[in-house]
Amino acid sequence: MDEIDRAILRELQVDGRIPYAELGPKVGLSPSAARLRLQRMIDAKAVQVVGVTDPMAQGQQAMALLGLRVDGDPRAVADELSRHDEVVYTVLTSGGFDLFAEVVCAQPRDLLDFINDVVRPVEGVAAVENFPYFAIHTHRFLWHVD
């Protein structure tokens, strides 16, 4: 990744919908060259251009981070949990938990049902701690691009 690629990423962090006609000149390229550069980064899976939502603003009233202790391979548990739409991401970790999963549900009761009826029965799940969200205070995807 060279300086022009990093400049493209910085511009996309400000406005992910910037037209190539504006992006190109901002990074010293023609619009078509900027499009090709970005497509190369997307094809290499170095970057994704996506819409980011706030589930609570869209009516989902129950979000939580689940800390899971796992007997066995946490990747198998992460794979199983990832099959459910309620799970928006999973992270393998170390320390007090083997795996974190962020969960979004319509109502608090749905969250309780999901934890008890879906998460706890997964083979390998030894323990689950639920950290419910009261509000999303900071939600950013602005990584410093050097």
Name all domains of the chain by residue range, CATH numbers in brackets: 3-43 (1.10.10.10), 62-132 (3.30.70.920)
In one-letter notation, the amino acid at residue 12 is L
Mean pLDDT score across all residues of the chain: 90
The phi and psi torsions of 128 (rounded to 5 degrees) equal -130, 130
- Name the band, by pLDDT with cuts 50, 70 and 90, for residue 51: confident
pTM, to two decimals: 0.69
pLDDT digits (tens, 9 = 90+) for 72-125: 999 999 999 999 999 999 999 999 999 999 999 989 999 999 999 999 999 999
Lookup: tokens for 106? 């319509």
Residues 98 and 95: their CA atoms lie apart, in Å, by 7
* pLDDT for the residue 121: 97
Mean pLDDT of 35-50: 91
Question: Could you tell me the pLDDT band of residue 129, with boundaries at 50, 70 and 90?
Answer: very high
Contacts of 3 (CB under 8 A, 6+ apart): none
pLDDT at 7: 93
- In this prediction, residue 16 has a pLDDT band, given cuts at 50, 70 and 90, of confident
pLDDT, residue 134, reads: 86
Q: How many residues does the chain have?
A: 146
